[in-house]
Amino acid sequence: MSFTYKIAVFDLDGTLTESKEKLDEEMAGMLKVLSERVPIVIISGGSFKQFEDQFLSEWIKTVPQNSETHKNIIFLATNGTKQYEYNGQSDSWQKTKEISFEEYVKQKVIKALKEIIASEDFEIPESHYGEYIEDRGTQISFSALGQNAPLEEKKLWDPDHKKREKIKSKLESDVPEILASIGGMTTVDILPKGFTKAVGLKQLLDEKNVGKDEVVFVGDALFLGGNDYSVLESGIKSIRVNNPSETVAIIKDWIL
């Protein structure tokens, strides 16, 4: 099967990697071949440091320094509120866009999250791994087991998303200036109201003069309330996967 789109877009956690895990060698090789043919955009609720830790630390083992291929990798961090593109002179990815998140709204979100953590209604474990709340500048992220929880524990906490749906509803009720969405296995991402992954991606496509019918997106959270759902809802061709192995199979189908 030939690849007929101008850009391939991927979520990170649950799509290219397991939650907070590093890119594996097979995935890196598949993406290298694909990126030699078309630009690849990776969009995630994570900060750019997460891209560095999970993706770039392994990518640079597969693709040499100052390779032209690097120019075909664009990162949209914190659900597209920050954009990073490759700069050949510095041989690094530089921030080229940032969307503001008003400080007073962030403080309201943090207050609401602390009340959720303290309440027995939301089943937040008292024992946790790292901070529950992370201010990523343009986004607040809440991890119910802490930012550094082991993968196996995360898989067990909220597999049907019902706990996070309850948290999402409470947050949006208490802080109407925001939009909350479910990401990863234990995470709720909080953005300024009106901003979604689809908005961040559309801004990039407009900048590159690419239509939404010329793009394909692969993600694991394409369910209603998931942080990938807005991309599907926007009309962009979207393919849902359950894990990185399914993503590898899709890319193989495109490039072989």
**The domain spanning residue 230 has which CATH number?**
3.40.50.1000
Residues 118, 95 share a domain: no
User: Which element (helix H / strand E) includes 173?
Assistant: helix 162-174
78 three-state secondary structure? helix
Give the pLDDT band of residue 49 (cuts 50, 70, 90).
very high
> What is the pTM assigned to this prediction?
0.89
Residue 1 lies in a domain: no
- For the chain, how many structural domains are there in total? 2
Quick one: which of 1, 5, 51, 9 has its CA closest to 231? 9
Is 141 a residue whose pLDDT tops 90?
A: yes
Range of the domain at 156: 103-192
What the block records as the tokens of 170 is 């409470």
Distance from the first to the final alpha carbon of the chain: 7
Give the pLDDT band of residue 256 (cuts 50, 70, 90).
confident
Of 137, 160, 192, at which residue does a domain stop? Answer: 192
What pLDDT shows up at residue 246?
Answer: 98
Q: Tell me how crowded residue 120 is: count the other CB atoms within 10 A of its CB.
A: 6
**The domain spanning residue 159 has which CATH number?**
3.30.1240.20
Rounded distance between C-alpha atoms, residue 199 and residue 79, angstroms: 9
87-122 per-position pLDDT tens digit: 999 999 999 999 999 999 999 999 999 999 999 999
For the chain, the average pLDDT equals 95
Residue type, position 162, single letter: K
217 CB-near residues (< 8 Å, 6+ apart): 9, 10, 11, 201, 228, 231, 232, 236, 237, 238, 239
Sheet holding 133-135, edge to edge: 133-135, 140-143, 187-192, 178-183
Is 68 a residue whose pLDDT tops 90?
A: no
Of 192, 208, 240, at which residue does a domain stop? Answer: 192
Residues 183, 57 share a domain: no
What the block records as the tokens of 158 is 């909220």
